[in-house]
Amino acid sequence: MALRMEMGLQQKLELKMKLAPQIIQSIEILQLATLELQQRVKQELMENPVLEELDIRPDAGETSESEAETETEQTTEESKALAEMAEMERHWNEYSDSAASRPKQGEKDKKLEAMQNTAARQESLQDFLFNQFNLLDITPSQRRISENIIYNIDGNGYLQSSMQEIAAASAAEDREVEAVLKMVQSLDPPGIGARDVKECLMLQLTHPERHPLEKDLIENHLEDIYMNRIPKIMRDTCRSAEEIQQAIDYIKTHFNPRPGNVFGGDPPPYITPDIIVEEVDGEYEVRLLDNNVPQLYISPFYHRMLMDKSTSEQAKEFVRRKIQSARWLIDSIEQRRNTLKKIATELVRVQRGFFEHGISALQPLKMRTIADVTGVHVSTVSRAIADKYVQTPRGIFPLKFFFSGGTANFEGTVTSRKSVKQLVIDVIGSEDKTDPLSDEAVAYKLQAEGIDIARRTVTKYRKALKIPSSRRRKLYITNTKAAN
Protein backbone atom coordinates (compact mmCIF):
# COMPACT_ATOMS: atom_id res chain seq x y z
CA MET A 1 0.00 0.00 0.00
CA ALA A 2 1.56 3.28 -1.09
CA LEU A 3 1.46 6.35 1.10
CA ARG A 4 0.45 9.59 -0.53
CA MET A 5 1.95 12.90 0.66
CA GLU A 6 0.00 16.09 0.04
CA MET A 7 0.49 19.76 0.84
CA GLY A 8 -2.39 21.96 1.94
CA LEU A 9 -3.42 25.07 3.85
CA GLN A 10 -5.17 24.90 7.20
CA GLN A 11 -6.64 27.62 9.37
CA LYS A 12 -6.06 27.41 13.11
CA LEU A 13 -7.63 29.71 15.69
CA GLU A 14 -5.49 30.45 18.75
CA LEU A 15 -5.96 32.85 21.63
CA LYS A 16 -2.71 34.25 22.98
CA MET A 17 -1.94 36.98 25.47
CA LYS A 18 0.98 39.21 24.60
CA LEU A 19 2.08 41.94 26.99
CA ALA A 20 2.96 45.30 25.51
CA PRO A 21 6.57 46.45 26.04
CA GLN A 22 5.34 49.30 28.24
CA ILE A 23 3.51 46.88 30.56
CA ILE A 24 6.54 44.59 30.74
CA GLN A 25 8.75 47.53 31.69
CA SER A 26 6.21 48.70 34.27
CA ILE A 27 6.22 45.25 35.89
CA GLU A 28 10.02 45.17 35.94
CA ILE A 29 10.26 48.61 37.53
CA LEU A 30 7.61 47.73 40.14
CA GLN A 31 9.60 44.72 41.32
CA LEU A 32 12.84 46.63 41.81
CA ALA A 33 13.96 47.62 45.29
CA THR A 34 14.98 51.26 45.71
CA LEU A 35 18.72 50.64 45.29
CA GLU A 36 18.09 48.53 42.19
CA LEU A 37 15.83 51.24 40.77
CA GLN A 38 18.55 53.81 41.40
CA GLN A 39 21.02 51.74 39.37
CA ARG A 40 18.46 51.13 36.63
CA VAL A 41 17.79 54.87 36.26
CA LYS A 42 21.50 55.66 36.11
CA GLN A 43 21.89 53.05 33.38
CA GLU A 44 19.00 54.55 31.41
CA LEU A 45 20.54 58.01 31.74
CA MET A 46 23.71 56.72 30.11
CA GLU A 47 21.91 54.84 27.33
CA ASN A 48 19.09 57.23 26.42
CA PRO A 49 20.32 60.66 25.27
CA VAL A 50 16.90 62.35 25.60
CA LEU A 51 16.70 61.67 29.33
CA GLU A 52 17.93 64.34 31.70
CA GLU A 53 18.27 64.33 35.48
CA LEU A 54 16.40 67.07 37.29
CA ASP A 55 18.85 69.30 39.14
CA ILE A 56 17.38 69.80 42.61
CA ARG A 57 19.54 72.22 44.55
CA PRO A 58 19.22 72.33 48.36
CA ASP A 59 18.65 76.10 48.32
CA ALA A 60 16.18 76.10 45.49
CA GLY A 61 13.67 73.50 46.58
CA GLU A 62 12.05 71.08 44.14
CA THR A 63 11.84 72.23 40.54
CA SER A 64 8.91 71.18 38.41
CA GLU A 65 9.43 69.66 34.99
CA SER A 66 8.04 72.70 33.21
CA GLU A 67 10.32 75.00 35.20
CA ALA A 68 13.28 72.82 34.35
CA GLU A 69 12.40 72.99 30.66
CA THR A 70 12.02 76.77 30.76
CA GLU A 71 15.33 77.20 32.52
CA THR A 72 17.02 74.93 30.01
CA GLU A 73 15.59 76.84 27.11
CA GLN A 74 16.71 80.15 28.55
CA THR A 75 20.27 79.02 29.18
CA THR A 76 20.86 77.14 25.93
CA GLU A 77 23.09 79.05 23.57
CA GLU A 78 23.61 78.46 19.89
CA SER A 79 27.02 76.93 20.38
CA LYS A 80 25.61 74.47 22.91
CA ALA A 81 22.82 73.56 20.52
CA LEU A 82 25.35 72.76 17.79
CA ALA A 83 27.31 70.64 20.24
CA GLU A 84 24.20 68.76 21.28
CA MET A 85 23.27 68.21 17.65
CA ALA A 86 26.65 66.62 17.07
CA GLU A 87 26.21 64.55 20.21
CA MET A 88 22.78 63.37 19.03
CA GLU A 89 24.19 62.33 15.67
CA ARG A 90 26.89 60.38 17.48
CA HIS A 91 24.23 58.62 19.55
CA TRP A 92 22.21 57.86 16.45
CA ASN A 93 25.22 56.28 14.74
CA GLU A 94 25.98 54.32 17.86
CA TYR A 95 22.46 52.91 18.15
CA SER A 96 21.83 52.38 14.43
CA ASP A 97 21.46 48.82 13.18
CA SER A 98 24.54 49.05 11.02
CA ALA A 99 26.69 49.71 14.09
CA ALA A 100 24.96 47.21 16.39
CA SER A 101 27.67 44.61 16.01
CA ARG A 102 30.53 46.95 16.85
CA PRO A 103 31.79 47.18 20.45
CA LYS A 104 30.81 50.47 22.02
CA GLN A 105 32.81 52.64 24.35
CA GLY A 106 29.83 52.77 26.71
CA GLU A 107 30.01 49.00 27.14
CA LYS A 108 33.68 49.26 28.08
CA ASP A 109 32.86 51.95 30.58
CA LYS A 110 30.15 49.81 32.20
CA LYS A 111 32.52 46.85 32.47
CA LEU A 112 35.13 49.07 34.07
CA GLU A 113 32.52 50.50 36.43
CA ALA A 114 31.39 46.98 37.38
CA MET A 115 34.99 46.00 38.15
CA GLN A 116 35.51 49.11 40.25
CA ASN A 117 32.29 48.49 42.18
CA THR A 118 33.11 44.83 42.90
CA ALA A 119 33.94 44.32 46.55
CA ALA A 120 37.40 43.06 47.35
CA ARG A 121 37.62 39.38 48.29
CA GLN A 122 37.42 38.80 52.00
CA GLU A 123 40.29 37.07 53.74
CA SER A 124 39.37 33.41 54.03
CA LEU A 125 39.99 31.17 57.02
CA GLN A 126 42.68 29.35 55.03
CA ASP A 127 44.41 32.64 54.17
CA PHE A 128 44.34 33.65 57.82
CA LEU A 129 45.85 30.33 58.95
CA PHE A 130 48.57 30.28 56.27
CA ASN A 131 49.60 33.86 57.13
CA GLN A 132 50.22 32.70 60.70
CA PHE A 133 51.77 29.34 59.82
CA ASN A 134 54.29 30.93 57.46
CA LEU A 135 55.71 32.89 60.38
CA LEU A 136 56.77 29.64 62.05
CA ASP A 137 60.13 27.97 61.51
CA ILE A 138 58.99 25.08 59.30
CA THR A 139 60.52 22.59 56.88
CA PRO A 140 59.33 21.99 53.30
CA SER A 141 57.79 18.71 54.46
CA GLN A 142 55.85 20.46 57.22
CA ARG A 143 54.71 23.08 54.73
CA ARG A 144 53.37 20.32 52.44
CA ILE A 145 51.56 18.61 55.32
CA SER A 146 50.13 21.92 56.57
CA GLU A 147 48.61 22.60 53.16
CA ASN A 148 46.76 19.28 53.23
CA ILE A 149 45.56 19.99 56.76
CA ILE A 150 44.52 23.62 56.33
CA TYR A 151 42.74 23.06 53.01
CA ASN A 152 40.72 20.29 54.67
CA ILE A 153 39.41 22.52 57.48
CA ASP A 154 35.75 23.38 56.90
CA GLY A 155 33.94 26.66 57.44
CA ASN A 156 33.22 25.81 61.09
CA GLY A 157 36.91 25.22 61.75
CA TYR A 158 36.90 21.41 61.90
CA LEU A 159 39.35 19.05 60.18
CA GLN A 160 37.41 16.89 57.74
CA SER A 161 40.09 14.33 56.77
CA SER A 162 41.62 11.58 58.88
CA MET A 163 45.28 11.46 59.84
CA GLN A 164 45.78 8.47 57.52
CA GLU A 165 44.30 10.34 54.54
CA ILE A 166 46.48 13.40 55.15
CA ALA A 167 49.57 11.23 55.65
CA ALA A 168 48.92 9.43 52.35
CA ALA A 169 48.34 12.71 50.49
CA SER A 170 51.48 14.24 52.01
CA ALA A 171 53.71 11.15 51.66
CA ALA A 172 54.46 11.48 55.38
CA GLU A 173 54.31 9.39 58.55
CA ASP A 174 51.32 9.60 60.88
CA ARG A 175 53.48 11.01 63.67
CA GLU A 176 54.67 13.84 61.36
CA VAL A 177 51.07 14.69 60.52
CA GLU A 178 50.12 14.71 64.21
CA ALA A 179 52.99 17.08 64.97
CA VAL A 180 51.99 19.51 62.21
CA LEU A 181 48.35 19.29 63.29
CA LYS A 182 49.39 20.39 66.78
CA MET A 183 51.13 23.38 65.20
CA VAL A 184 48.00 24.28 63.23
CA GLN A 185 45.85 23.88 66.34
CA SER A 186 48.07 26.38 68.15
CA LEU A 187 47.02 29.10 65.71
CA ASP A 188 44.18 31.57 66.06
CA PRO A 189 41.25 31.31 66.35
CA PRO A 190 41.44 28.99 69.38
CA GLY A 191 39.92 25.58 68.74
CA ILE A 192 40.80 25.54 65.03
CA GLY A 193 41.64 22.21 63.39
CA ALA A 194 39.75 20.08 65.92
CA ARG A 195 38.26 16.77 64.86
CA ASP A 196 35.16 16.98 67.08
CA VAL A 197 33.42 19.33 69.51
CA LYS A 198 35.16 17.87 72.55
CA GLU A 199 38.63 18.46 71.10
CA CYS A 200 37.58 21.94 69.92
CA LEU A 201 36.50 23.00 73.42
CA MET A 202 39.50 21.39 75.10
CA LEU A 203 41.83 23.33 72.79
CA GLN A 204 40.19 26.51 74.08
CA LEU A 205 40.64 25.51 77.73
CA THR A 206 44.10 27.02 78.09
CA HIS A 207 44.35 26.57 81.88
CA PRO A 208 42.56 23.31 82.74
CA GLU A 209 44.06 23.31 86.23
CA ARG A 210 42.07 26.46 87.02
CA HIS A 211 38.82 24.99 85.71
CA PRO A 212 38.70 21.32 86.72
CA LEU A 213 34.90 21.12 86.64
CA GLU A 214 34.69 22.72 83.18
CA LYS A 215 37.32 20.22 81.98
CA ASP A 216 35.33 17.31 83.42
CA LEU A 217 32.11 18.55 81.80
CA ILE A 218 33.76 18.91 78.38
CA GLU A 219 35.43 15.51 78.52
CA ASN A 220 32.57 13.47 79.96
CA HIS A 221 29.24 15.31 79.94
CA LEU A 222 28.68 17.22 76.69
CA GLU A 223 25.64 15.13 75.77
CA ASP A 224 24.32 15.45 79.32
CA ILE A 225 24.63 19.23 79.07
CA TYR A 226 22.78 19.25 75.74
CA MET A 227 19.96 17.14 77.17
CA ASN A 228 19.99 19.16 80.44
CA ARG A 229 20.63 16.07 82.60
CA ILE A 230 21.80 18.12 85.55
CA PRO A 231 20.84 15.53 88.22
CA LYS A 232 23.00 12.90 86.46
CA ILE A 233 25.93 15.32 86.28
CA MET A 234 25.43 16.09 89.98
CA ARG A 235 25.63 12.39 90.83
CA ASP A 236 28.69 11.80 88.63
CA THR A 237 30.66 14.85 89.74
CA CYS A 238 29.43 15.17 93.33
CA ARG A 239 28.91 18.87 92.69
CA SER A 240 25.91 21.07 93.47
CA ALA A 241 23.47 22.24 90.83
CA GLU A 242 24.71 25.80 91.28
CA GLU A 243 28.35 24.83 90.70
CA ILE A 244 27.43 22.86 87.60
CA GLN A 245 25.28 25.66 86.19
CA GLN A 246 28.06 28.18 86.75
CA ALA A 247 30.52 25.91 84.91
CA ILE A 248 28.08 25.48 82.02
CA ASP A 249 27.55 29.24 81.86
CA TYR A 250 31.31 29.73 81.75
CA ILE A 251 31.67 27.31 78.83
CA LYS A 252 28.82 28.97 76.93
CA THR A 253 30.25 32.43 77.53
CA HIS A 254 33.96 31.86 76.89
CA PHE A 255 34.07 29.04 74.31
CA ASN A 256 33.10 28.92 70.63
CA PRO A 257 32.12 25.49 69.27
CA ARG A 258 32.45 26.82 65.69
CA PRO A 259 35.71 28.81 65.70
CA GLY A 260 35.89 29.10 61.92
CA ASN A 261 32.52 30.71 61.36
CA VAL A 262 33.89 34.25 61.71
CA PHE A 263 35.66 33.83 58.36
CA GLY A 264 34.49 33.40 54.81
CA GLY A 265 31.01 33.55 53.40
CA ASP A 266 29.27 36.62 52.13
CA PRO A 267 28.94 39.60 54.46
CA PRO A 268 25.45 40.12 55.82
CA PRO A 269 23.39 42.21 53.43
CA TYR A 270 22.89 45.86 54.29
CA ILE A 271 19.17 46.50 54.28
CA THR A 272 18.03 49.82 52.89
CA PRO A 273 14.35 50.52 53.63
CA ASP A 274 12.13 51.45 50.70
CA ILE A 275 9.39 52.93 52.90
CA ILE A 276 9.31 54.67 56.26
CA VAL A 277 6.37 54.77 58.66
CA GLU A 278 6.49 57.56 61.25
CA GLU A 279 4.13 58.50 64.04
CA VAL A 280 3.08 62.14 63.81
CA ASP A 281 0.57 63.53 66.32
CA GLY A 282 -0.87 60.09 67.02
CA GLU A 283 -1.20 59.13 63.35
CA TYR A 284 1.09 56.99 61.21
CA GLU A 285 2.39 58.59 58.05
CA VAL A 286 3.82 56.66 55.10
CA ARG A 287 6.68 58.05 53.06
CA LEU A 288 8.75 56.51 50.26
CA LEU A 289 12.52 56.61 50.73
CA ASP A 290 13.41 57.18 47.08
CA ASN A 291 15.17 60.54 47.35
CA ASN A 292 18.35 59.05 45.87
CA VAL A 293 16.56 57.90 42.73
CA PRO A 294 17.29 60.55 40.06
CA GLN A 295 14.23 62.50 38.96
CA LEU A 296 13.92 62.46 35.20
CA TYR A 297 12.56 64.66 32.46
CA ILE A 298 12.83 64.68 28.67
CA SER A 299 15.29 67.22 27.30
CA PRO A 300 13.43 70.00 25.40
CA PHE A 301 16.30 70.11 22.95
CA TYR A 302 15.13 66.87 21.36
CA HIS A 303 11.54 68.10 21.18
CA ARG A 304 12.85 71.06 19.17
CA MET A 305 14.78 68.72 16.92
CA LEU A 306 11.56 66.96 15.94
CA MET A 307 10.14 70.34 14.89
CA ASP A 308 13.27 71.34 13.00
CA LYS A 309 12.85 70.79 9.24
CA SER A 310 16.59 70.43 8.82
CA THR A 311 16.66 67.28 10.95
CA SER A 312 16.84 64.11 8.84
CA GLU A 313 13.97 61.60 8.98
CA GLN A 314 16.32 58.91 10.30
CA ALA A 315 17.40 61.16 13.16
CA LYS A 316 13.77 62.07 13.89
CA GLU A 317 12.79 58.40 14.02
CA PHE A 318 15.62 57.73 16.43
CA VAL A 319 14.57 60.64 18.64
CA ARG A 320 10.92 59.50 18.61
CA ARG A 321 11.89 56.02 19.79
CA LYS A 322 14.06 57.41 22.55
CA ILE A 323 11.40 59.87 23.70
CA GLN A 324 8.81 57.09 23.79
CA SER A 325 11.17 54.89 25.81
CA ALA A 326 11.88 57.79 28.18
CA ARG A 327 8.16 58.46 28.71
CA TRP A 328 7.53 54.80 29.45
CA LEU A 329 10.30 54.81 32.03
CA ILE A 330 9.09 58.02 33.72
CA ASP A 331 5.51 56.73 33.79
CA SER A 332 6.61 53.34 35.17
CA ILE A 333 8.56 54.97 37.98
CA GLU A 334 5.62 57.18 38.90
CA GLN A 335 3.25 54.21 38.77
CA ARG A 336 5.60 52.24 41.02
CA ARG A 337 5.66 55.13 43.49
CA ASN A 338 1.86 55.41 43.57
CA THR A 339 1.32 51.65 43.87
CA LEU A 340 3.82 51.27 46.72
CA LYS A 341 2.33 54.25 48.55
CA LYS A 342 -1.23 52.88 48.26
CA ILE A 343 -0.25 49.38 49.41
CA ALA A 344 1.90 50.63 52.31
CA THR A 345 -0.80 53.04 53.46
CA GLU A 346 -3.41 50.28 53.54
CA LEU A 347 -0.98 47.95 55.34
CA VAL A 348 -0.48 50.54 58.05
CA ARG A 349 -4.22 51.01 58.40
CA VAL A 350 -4.92 47.29 58.75
CA GLN A 351 -1.92 46.59 61.00
CA ARG A 352 -2.20 49.68 63.21
CA GLY A 353 -2.37 47.41 66.25
CA PHE A 354 1.11 46.10 65.45
CA PHE A 355 2.57 49.60 65.37
CA GLU A 356 0.95 50.40 68.72
CA HIS A 357 1.28 47.10 70.62
CA GLY A 358 3.76 44.87 68.77
CA ILE A 359 3.63 41.44 67.15
CA SER A 360 0.94 40.15 69.51
CA ALA A 361 -1.52 42.57 67.83
CA LEU A 362 -0.61 41.59 64.26
CA GLN A 363 -3.71 40.84 62.20
CA PRO A 364 -4.01 37.95 59.72
CA LEU A 365 -3.86 39.41 56.25
CA LYS A 366 -3.92 38.10 52.71
CA MET A 367 -2.65 39.86 49.58
CA ARG A 368 -6.11 39.53 48.05
CA THR A 369 -7.52 41.81 50.75
CA ILE A 370 -5.02 44.57 50.01
CA ALA A 371 -5.52 44.10 46.26
CA ASP A 372 -9.29 44.54 46.56
CA VAL A 373 -9.02 47.68 48.67
CA THR A 374 -6.32 49.36 46.56
CA GLY A 375 -7.88 48.39 43.25
CA VAL A 376 -4.90 46.48 41.84
CA HIS A 377 -4.41 42.84 40.87
CA VAL A 378 -3.16 40.45 43.55
CA SER A 379 -0.09 39.71 41.40
CA THR A 380 0.69 43.44 41.47
CA VAL A 381 0.66 43.39 45.26
CA SER A 382 2.97 40.36 45.24
CA ARG A 383 5.41 42.08 42.90
CA ALA A 384 5.24 45.39 44.74
CA ILE A 385 6.18 43.93 48.15
CA ALA A 386 8.90 41.60 46.84
CA ASP A 387 12.29 42.40 48.39
CA LYS A 388 10.96 45.67 49.85
CA TYR A 389 11.52 46.76 53.45
CA VAL A 390 9.75 49.24 55.68
CA GLN A 391 11.30 51.20 58.54
CA THR A 392 8.88 51.50 61.46
CA PRO A 393 9.07 52.72 65.06
CA ARG A 394 9.38 49.01 65.97
CA GLY A 395 12.25 48.25 63.61
CA ILE A 396 12.84 47.34 59.97
CA PHE A 397 10.63 44.62 58.49
CA PRO A 398 10.12 43.13 55.03
CA LEU A 399 6.71 44.08 53.66
CA LYS A 400 5.91 40.35 53.42
CA PHE A 401 6.09 40.23 57.21
CA PHE A 402 2.66 41.85 57.44
CA PHE A 403 0.96 39.10 55.44
CA SER A 404 0.13 35.81 57.13
CA GLY A 405 -2.63 33.33 57.75
CA GLY A 406 -4.31 32.97 61.10
CA THR A 407 -5.57 30.72 63.89
CA ALA A 408 -9.22 30.84 64.85
CA ASN A 409 -10.24 31.58 68.43
CA PHE A 410 -13.31 30.32 70.27
CA GLU A 411 -15.29 33.42 69.30
CA GLY A 412 -14.84 32.73 65.61
CA THR A 413 -12.38 35.55 64.88
CA VAL A 414 -8.90 34.85 63.54
CA THR A 415 -5.54 35.71 65.09
CA SER A 416 -2.37 36.04 62.98
CA ARG A 417 0.00 33.09 63.13
CA LYS A 418 2.86 35.49 63.84
CA SER A 419 1.00 36.90 66.83
CA VAL A 420 0.22 33.36 68.06
CA LYS A 421 3.92 32.55 67.83
CA GLN A 422 4.63 35.67 69.85
CA LEU A 423 2.11 34.48 72.44
CA VAL A 424 3.95 31.15 72.63
CA ILE A 425 7.18 33.08 73.23
CA ASP A 426 5.51 35.20 75.92
CA VAL A 427 4.00 32.22 77.74
CA ILE A 428 7.26 30.28 77.76
CA GLY A 429 9.22 33.42 78.66
CA SER A 430 7.11 33.94 81.79
CA GLU A 431 7.18 30.32 82.98
CA ASP A 432 8.86 29.10 86.15
CA LYS A 433 12.18 27.86 84.82
CA THR A 434 12.47 25.34 87.66
CA ASP A 435 9.19 23.82 86.46
CA PRO A 436 8.89 24.69 82.75
CA LEU A 437 5.63 24.23 80.86
CA SER A 438 5.09 21.30 78.55
CA ASP A 439 3.70 21.99 75.07
CA GLU A 440 0.34 20.74 76.29
CA ALA A 441 0.42 23.16 79.23
CA VAL A 442 1.29 26.04 76.87
CA ALA A 443 -1.69 25.07 74.70
CA TYR A 444 -3.99 25.09 77.75
CA LYS A 445 -2.79 28.58 78.71
CA LEU A 446 -3.43 29.92 75.22
CA GLN A 447 -6.83 28.24 75.11
CA ALA A 448 -7.66 29.98 78.37
CA GLU A 449 -6.96 33.27 76.56
CA GLY A 450 -9.39 32.32 73.79
CA ILE A 451 -6.91 30.92 71.24
CA ASP A 452 -8.07 27.66 69.69
CA ILE A 453 -4.71 25.89 69.39
CA ALA A 454 -3.69 22.25 69.69
CA ARG A 455 -0.65 20.87 71.50
CA ARG A 456 0.92 19.71 68.22
CA THR A 457 0.61 23.26 66.85
CA VAL A 458 2.44 24.61 69.90
CA THR A 459 5.15 22.01 69.30
CA LYS A 460 5.45 23.04 65.64
CA TYR A 461 5.69 26.74 66.52
CA ARG A 462 8.16 26.08 69.36
CA LYS A 463 10.47 24.13 67.06
CA ALA A 464 10.19 26.78 64.35
CA LEU A 465 11.19 29.37 66.95
CA LYS A 466 14.12 27.14 68.02
CA ILE A 467 12.88 27.00 71.63
CA PRO A 468 14.14 23.88 73.47
CA SER A 469 11.76 21.36 74.98
CA SER A 470 10.59 21.75 78.58
CA ARG A 471 13.13 19.14 79.68
CA ARG A 472 16.00 21.14 78.22
CA ARG A 473 14.64 24.45 79.58
CA LYS A 474 14.51 23.27 83.17
CA LEU A 475 16.78 25.06 85.67
CA TYR A 476 17.79 23.28 88.83
CA ILE A 477 18.73 26.47 90.68
CA THR A 478 16.82 29.74 90.82
CA ASN A 479 19.73 32.18 90.62
CA THR A 480 22.78 31.54 88.45
CA LYS A 481 25.73 33.73 87.58
CA ALA A 482 28.38 33.02 84.99
CA ALA A 483 31.81 32.40 86.47
CA ASN A 484 34.38 35.06 85.71
**pLDDT attached to residue 423:** 87
Q: What's this model's pTM, rounded to 2 decimal places?
A: 0.57
Where does 406-473 sit in CATH, by number? 1.10.10.60
- Residue-wise pLDDT for 433-452, tens only, equals 889 999 999 999 988 888 88
- Residue-wise pLDDT for 34-91, tens only, equals 889 999 999 999 999 999 988 764 444 444 444 444 444 444 443 444 454 445 445 4
- Residue-wise pLDDT for 306-330, tens only, equals 888 888 889 889 989 999 999 999 9
Of 180, 208, 204, nearest to 192 by C-alpha is 204
Domain borders along the chain are 127-262, 406-473
**pLDDT attached to residue 369:** 92
Q: Under a CB-based contact definition with an 8 Å cutoff, are residues 402 and 362 in contact?
A: yes
Q: What is the mean pLDDT of residues 276-285?
A: 92
**pLDDT attached to residue 197:** 94
**pLDDT attached to residue 101:** 44
Torsion, CA 339, CA 345, CA 350, CA 352, rounded to 10: 150
Torsion, CA 455, CA 461, CA 467, CA 468, rounded to 10: 40
Q: Residue 305: pLDDT above 70?
A: yes
Q: What is the mean pLDDT of residues 271-291?
A: 91
Q: What is the mean pLDDT of residues 267-283?
A: 84
